[in-house]
Amino acid sequence: MNYEGINKEKSMQSEEDSTVTDKEKSLLLPHEFDGIRELDNPPPRWLMYILYITVFFSALYWVHYHTFRQGPTQDEEYLAEMAASVAARDADSSVVKLAQLTDQVNLDAGKKIYNEKLCYSCHGMAGEGNAVGPNLTDDYWIHGSSIDKIVEVLINGVPAKGMAPFKDQLTKEQILQVASYVLSLQGTNPPNAKAPQGEKAG
Amino acid sequence: MQPEIFSYDNKIVKYFTYATIIWGVVGMIVGLLIALQLAFPYFNFDISFTTYGRLRPIHTNAVIFAFVGNAIFTGVYYSMQRLLKTRMYSDLLSYIHFWGWQLIIVLAALTLALGFTAGKEYAELEWPVDLLIAVVWIVFGWNMFGTIARRRVQHLYVAIWFYIASWVAVTILHVFNSVELPVSLFKSYPVYAGVQDALVQWWYGHNAVAFFLTTPFLGLMYYFLPKAANRPIYSYKLSIIHFWTLIFIYIWSGPHHLLYQALPDWAQTIGVIFSVMLIAPSWGGMINGLLTLRGVWDKVRETPMLKFMAVAVTAYGMVTFEGPMLAIKTVNGLVHFTDWIIAHVHIGGLGWNGFLTFAMLYWLIPVLWRTKLYSNKLANIHFWLGTLGVLFYAIPLYWAAITQGLMWKEFTPEGFLRYPNFLETVVQIIPMYVTRIAGGVLYIVGVVLMVYNLVKTIKQGSFVASEEVSAMPLEKINRHRILGETIHGWVERKPVQFTFWVAVALLFGSIVSIVPMFVVKTNIPTISSVKPYSPLELQGRDIYIREGCYTCHSQMVRPFRSETERYGEYSKSGEFVYDHPFQWGSRRMGPDLARTGVVEGKMYKTAAWHFNHFYNPQEMNAESRMPAYPWLIANKMNISSTPAKINAMIMLGVPYPEGFAERSVDSLMNQARMIADDLKQSGIEVEPDREVIAMIAYMHRLGRDISEQKPVKTGLVMKTDVPGILTDQESVDLGAQLFKANCAACHGVSGEGNAIGPNLTDNYWIHGGAPDSVYNTIYNGVPAKGMQAWKDLLTKDQLQQVFSFSMKIKGTNMSGGRAPQGLEEKPQKME
């Protein structure tokens, strides 16, 4: 028996129902599966080109990065990114005078930062303190009551106690604004204030 | 030869059809619920069983394995009998398969809701269910190959090739990804850890997409599309080429889920290039489908079934173009961990799998019940609702993804992260989440219309459980190749050989891409400071897994400035060697947690903060989308299994000291009491045996090991080590000479500074006064401010000498020096 002979299963597809064009009839392959026929068209050439191009690209990619090690590794990419980003804040050599700000514009700016940076989640909406953070409105202070001590806490934080450092988030001026805002809360006696902690300001 | 009379089993097809419809509706409604939860946390209902972390795996498992799974079996059981001209090999096996699979689905829903999970995406089910899946899958395979063996058709049609490949691949994937060591009936640890676990998991995860959501559906397409369109398949040759290239290439591309993560570069490259090479093989299926419709597009317009099919195939083409694009590292760096991936899989899930299933049902049910579809009009409405649903679902998420991805990376001109508070980037995309819900609703309304339409169709028709047919018996022909027969034509009539070559194609890529990660030690450089988890931390980790925290939080800091600025040092492969299973995550609804234990770090929060946050996240962050976990505070830890867990870890190679299992409960309680005491100081009274204590311990452990190495800003120094500080007179003198010659112009002869450069003798430093910072400044310079990079102008020895001199004059506070600039260095930080 030859190859044609093993494909003699008859099409169950009724001829008048078929949408096969005359041109396609010559391309019909002899086999048939539950009425499904197949044409002997070649794969579209553009699709094969995509295959060849992607295979070629992939080979180049491998050779470039791993055979000749021309491309950067992921660690090198990171080092390059860090080296290229001599951040403006590192270059910021301005000296901000460490003195409490009292004008409304700066205090409003400080309040805005207090809310934006979610200070309230630990110190309360009015600075009254909560289970996490101390009351900022009484005159007891754990890390000092002067503007420079507060600025220092804001800059470096007190990580072990949950106070985050803000040196990577706020400029010196902004830190001074929020510190001044905090000092402006002194003696406001908000409701639900947390009991005093630390030492009484001298 | 006489034709043989036999019958097709339509009843099993009917069963799977019903299961497809029922589970489809269920899975999609759960999907809608979790979409609501992301927009409105209220929908977590404060009940453990209904939190996002538990429902999200139920949604994914339900739509993948219940909806799509049953749809596959519907189509396979219908088409295989007809393509092979025989009844299924065994009715008994068919029904064991059916009921077994439904049992698995019910067990999956129950166990996942209860928090019994392996914590690996799309492979969450615990070991007893894994075993059951293996048994039922073998039953299906037995039935399938039995049917193939009894066929009355010489050659296997392309649909059958895809069914075989799917079965073989899923068997391999499921077995190798589920090798786990049971601790109790519903808890196990995978034998793989960290990077290896990640690689195996995404080899599995990616290929579950390939061989569960794609290849079986290509098989269905190759049957139902030409049947419904009454057209011959466009190109048999294309079928061959795209079948073999697809299954060969697909299996390699899993690592594209781990780009820019703690995976060796070579493995990432494999993920990239094999994904790129997948475009043409994937499109082969789409092209063959669409070109088969050539000449009958007028019919497509009129026939809802063909419309669904055409959109399904087009969606497949879109997804398989998008996939390789997402696998390009630059693109991936922006959109990984964002909603782009969610949109991508839903174009696949809703567009390709959903629409193809609907097409199949609209065609199959009238055929099985020997009637016409109840209403073409309703089906058309379904088509438009579904199409709009997909668009309303995906487009907002693409938008959300780009928005959030860019926000994560944006810096201010001052060099700060523009959005250092992660939550801001979430709040920004909530409107897109609401729109996405609308898309989901449209899609589900369409499905409900379909169910109504199909029920009406079933009611008006008459079902034939056993369909009598006749066919000629299979002629025995030469085993060997016959003259004029192509090699492929020959293999097509040799199922065993065919299956063998499929297995070879699948195993080759699997072995080459995975085995080196296990046998080549240098792939995972050891970090000596990384130690096993304490029993309490392990307990916390298991709770983290139970609650599905990984569905919203990653533990993988990628090596980008925007990530190290936000989270801390980027993740290294050696950190994860005791992580059974790995918990790197794939989506950041919340921030990365890999560095929450680094006390000096950016992510550290106190025990009290964590306690309050678990109890009520919205109290800490009003806009947070995190569910509340009050039961962590109410529930006592289950410490009865702790010794068994430690022993299991020891068996997996985690180096706990000898006899540690017996002491583990004591160790656990000691650590727990310390945390409870810490909380008490913040005014929080809680028993030390509560689950929240373990969670806090785990949060405080993450990243701590590696932080203790104190690699201070090494990232800044390019490819050089900071040399030691020389103190011998000769070197210091040489340094002084070099300083005078090169540096004095800007920093003064004694380093006191002048109008150009800062004072180097005080304790204020603009770029850091620590030795490595100073060396880095000398070495790389600060070109923006006029400080030259000296690395190419001085020899290595000279660099060391001038560096040593600089360190010597530091703190000498020369009189007449320039006023301080920069930050004061705290004395304790001097090293």
Nearest partner of A37 among A29, A45, A48, judged by Cα: A29
Q: Model confidence over B537-562: pLDDT tens digits?
A: 999 999 999 999 999 999 999 999 99
Average pLDDT over residues B415-435: 93
CB contact under 8 A, A47 and B284: yes
The arithmetic mean of pLDDT across residues B729-746, rounded, is 84
In terms of Cβ atoms closer than 10 Å to its own Cβ (0-12, 13-18, 19+), residue B503 is: middle
* Residues in chain B within 8 Å Cβ distance of A55: 277
Q: Residue B287 and residue A47: Cβ atoms within 8 Å?
A: yes
CB A15 within 8 A of CB B292: no
A131 to B612: CB separation less than 8 angstroms, yes or no: yes
- Total-model pTM: 0.83
Where do we find the tokens 């676990």? B197
Nearest C-alpha of chain A: how many angstroms from B817? 16
| Residue carrying the six token digits 């983290």 | B544
Distance between CA A130 and CA A74 in Å, rounded?
Answer: 44
Tell me what the mean pLDDT of segment B414-422 comes to: 88
CATH class of B535-707: mainly alpha
Residue with tokens 């299994």: B641
**Which residue of B265, B619, B820 is in closest CB contact with A74?**
B265
- The residues, any chain, with a CB within 8 Å of residue B436's CB and separated by 6 or more, are B35, B392, B393, B396, B397, B400
Round the CA-based radius of gyration of chain B to a whole number and report it.
Answer: 31
A93 vs B561: CB contact, 8 Å cut-off? Answer: no
Mutate to test the interface with A, among B250, B252, B273, B492 (most CBs of A within 10 A): B273
- The encoded tokens of residue B147 equal 């049917």
CB contact under 8 A, B560 and A78: yes
DSSP code per residue over chain A: --TGGGG-PPP-S-GGG----HHHHTTEEEEEETTEEEEBPPPPHHHHHHHHHHHHHHHHHHIIIIIS--SPPHHHHHHHHHHH---HHHH-----------SHHHHHHHHHHHHHTTTHHHH-TTS---SSS--SSSSEESS-SSHHHHHHHHHH-BGGGTBPP-TTTS-HHHHHHHHHHHHHTTT---TTPPPP-SEE--
How many contacts, defined by CB atoms under 8 Å, are there between A and B?
240
Q: What is the mean pLDDT of residues B75-80?
A: 98
Q: Which residues of B touch A82 (CB under 8 A)?
A: 561, 564, 715-716
Query: Which of A1, A40, A62 comes nearest B269 by C-beta?
Result: A62
The reply to whether B535-707 and B714-829 are identical in fold is yes
- Residue-wise pLDDT for A145-198, tens only, equals 888 889 888 988 887 777 888 888 888 888 999 999 999 999 898 988 888 888
Average pLDDT score, chain B: 92
Per-residue pLDDT at B711: 38
How many Å apart are CA A180 and CA A106, to the nearest integer? 8
pLDDT tops 70 at residue A12? no
CB-based contact A47 B602, cutoff 8 Å = no
Among B223, B234, B283, whose Cβ lies nearest the Cβ of A41?
Answer: B234
Question: How big is the CA angle at A19 (ends A16 and A20), to the nearest 5 degrees?
Answer: 105
**CB contact (8 A) between residue A51 and residue B612:** no
We find that the CATH architecture of domain B714-829 is: Orthogonal Bundle (1.10)
Which of B273, B600, B604 comes nearest A61 by C-beta? B273
The greatest distance separating any two alpha carbons of chain A, rounded to the nearest whole angstrom, comes to 110
Given a contact cutoff of 8 angstroms between Cβ atoms, the answer to whether B113 and B33 are in contact is no
pLDDT of residue B782: 72
Q: Does B297 contact chain A (CB < 8 Å)?
A: no
Name the residue among B85, B227, B561 with its Cβ closest to that of A85: B561
Q: What is the pLDDT of residue A157?
A: 84
Q: Using CB atoms, which residue from B235, B413, B420 is nearest to A39?
A: B235
Which pLDDT score, from 0 to 100, does residue B748 have?
82
Contact list in A for residue B604 (CB cut-off 8 A) is 159, 162, 164
Q: What is the mean pLDDT of residues B271-280?
A: 97
Chain A interface includes B122 (CB < 8 A): no
Q: What is the ipTM of this complex?
A: 0.81
Residues from chain B that touch A156, judged by Cβ atoms under 8 A, are 826
Residue whose pair of structure tokens reads 């009839």 in the numeric block = A25
| Topology of the domain covering A104-200 | Cytochrome Bc1 Complex; Chain D, domain 2 (1.10.760)
Q: Which residue of B has its CA nearest to A122?
A: B620
User: For position A92, what pLDDT does the model report?
Assistant: 58
Q: Minimal Cα distance from B768: which residue of A?
A: A90
Residues near B721 by Cβ (< 8 Å), separated by ≥ 6? Answer: none
* B516–A contact, CB cutoff 8 A: no
Closest Cβ opposite residue A34 in set B82, B236, B682:
B82
CB B439 within 8 A of CB B392: yes
Gap between the Cα atoms of B159 and B83, Å rounded = 9
As a whole number of angstroms, the distance between CA A168 and CA A158 comes to 14
Q: Which of A112-126, B349-363, B477-491, B798-812 has the highest mean pLDDT?
A: B349-363
Nearest to B222 by CA among B145, B303, B304, B166: B166
CB contact under 8 A, B83 and A33: yes
* pLDDT of the residue at A5: 42
Q: Reduce the DSSP state of residue B612 to 3 states and report it.
A: helix
pLDDT in the model for residue B254: 94
For residue B5, count CB atoms less than 10 angstroms from its CB and return exposed for 0-12, middle for 13-18, buried for 19 or more: exposed
Structure tokens at B682: 């913040």
Q: Which residue of B has its CA nearest to A58?
A: B273
Task: Express each pLDDT in B312-334 by its tens digit.
Answer: 999 999 999 999 999 999 999 99
pLDDT at B521: 84
Q: What is the band of B416 on the pLDDT scale with cuts at 50, 70, 90?
A: confident
Asked if the model's pLDDT at residue B787 lies above 90, the reply is no
Q: Where do the domains of chain B lie?
A: 8-462+487-516, 535-707, 714-829
Are B235 and A95 an interchain contact pair (Cβ–Cβ within 8 Å)? no
Superfamily of domain B8-462+487-516: Cytochrome c oxidase-like, subunit I domain (1.20.210.10)
Asked if B512 has any chain A CB less than 8 Å from its own CB, the reply is no
What average pLDDT score do residues A112-121 get? 88
Decide if B565 touches A, using CB distance below 8 A: yes
CB spacing of B269 vs A66 below 8 angstroms: yes
User: With an 8 Å Cβ cutoff, are B227 and A47 in contact?
Assistant: no
What are the sequence ranges of the domains in chain A?
Answer: 4-39, 45-84, 104-200
Option in A13, A43, A131 nearest B238 (CB): A43
Q: Which of B163-172, B259-268, B526-535 has the lowest mean pLDDT?
A: B526-535
A47: amino acid identity, one letter = L
> At residue A118, does pLDDT exceed 90?
no
Average pLDDT in the B397-420 region? 93
CB atoms within 10 A of CB A125: 12
What is the arithmetic mean of pLDDT over B178-207? 95
CA B369 vs CA B13, B594, B763: distances in Å: 12, 56, 88
pLDDT class for B654, splitting at 50, 70, 90? very high
Q: Nearest-CA residue of chain A relative to B230?
A: A18
Give the angle subtended at the CA of B141 by the CAs of B139 and B142, to the nearest 5°.
65
Chain B positions touching A192 (Cβ under 8 A) are: none
**What phi and psi, each to the nearest 5 degrees, are found at residue B600?**
-85, 0
Q: In chain A, what residues touch B561 (CB-CB under 8 Å)?
A: 78, 81-82, 85
Q: Which of B609-623, B742-756, B797-811 has the lowest mean pLDDT?
A: B742-756
Integer Cα distance of A188 and B786 in angstroms? 49
B681: Cβ contacts below 8 Å, ≥ 6 apart: none
Residue with tokens 């195939």: B313
Asked if A73's CB is within 8 angstroms of B684's CB, the reply is no
Secondary structure, 3-state, B88-102:
CCCHHHHHHHHHHHH
pLDDT surpassing 60 at residue B373: yes
Question: Rounded mean pLDDT of B340-358?
Answer: 97
Of B414, B421, B819, the CB nearest to A171: B414
CB contact under 8 A, B233 and A39: yes
CA distance A132 to A140: 16
Contact list in A for residue B268 (CB cut-off 8 A) is 74
- Strongest mean pLDDT among A106-120, B393-407, B736-750: B393-407
The answer to whether the Cβ–Cβ distance between B235 and A57 falls below 8 Å is no
pLDDT the model gives residue B830: 35
| CA-based nearest distance B664→chain A, Å | 27
> Nearest CB to A132: which of B223, B493, B682?
B682
